Amino acid sequence: ATDDIPKTAIINPFGLYEFLRMPFGLRNAAQTFQRFIDDVFRGLNFVHAYVDDCLIASPDRETHLKHLDLVFERLQKHGITVNVQKCQFGTDSLDFLGHTIDAQGIRPLRTKVAAILDYPEPTTVKQLRT
């Protein structure tokens, strides 16, 4: 809200600086933004959003196009813009929040579990116990 702009004002050698948008360094910024995003997509059960990452799960292409229309209507209604270069539309597989999601299901990215998968197998009782 416009009334909150002075609350984050800082003074530096170049003058007064006021944030026009919420900076993510504030203590409750992420939670506040998540609550806002939850409100934006409330009732759209096919949308899975975490902060600024958003997944639209659709069973087929035709439904996906309808879902996209609904999502873009909500985004426009709330004045939210998206970076199209960061978007993937109509894909069968994608990496989302540290997981690969595709028709086979959801599994962690290899990079996230590499240390466990690549850990050497113990060959002695002593190694097994440590």
| C-alpha–C-alpha distance, residues 9 and 127, integer Å | 57
7 found inside a domain: no
Q: Which domain holds residue 95?
A: 27-129
pLDDT tens sequence across 28-77: 888 999 999 999 999 999 999 998 899 999 999 999 999 999 999 999 99
Residue showing tokens 């035709």: 62
- Structure confidence at residue 80 (pLDDT): 94
Question: Residue 96 has what pLDDT?
Answer: 94
Query: What is the pLDDT, as a whole number, of residue 42?
Result: 98
Task: Look at the pTM and tell me if it is higher than 0.75.
Answer: no
CA distance 104 to 4: 46
**Could you tell me if residue 64 is inside a domain?**
yes
The CATH code of the domain that includes 93 is 3.30.70.270
Please state the rounded mean pLDDT for residues 3-13.
89
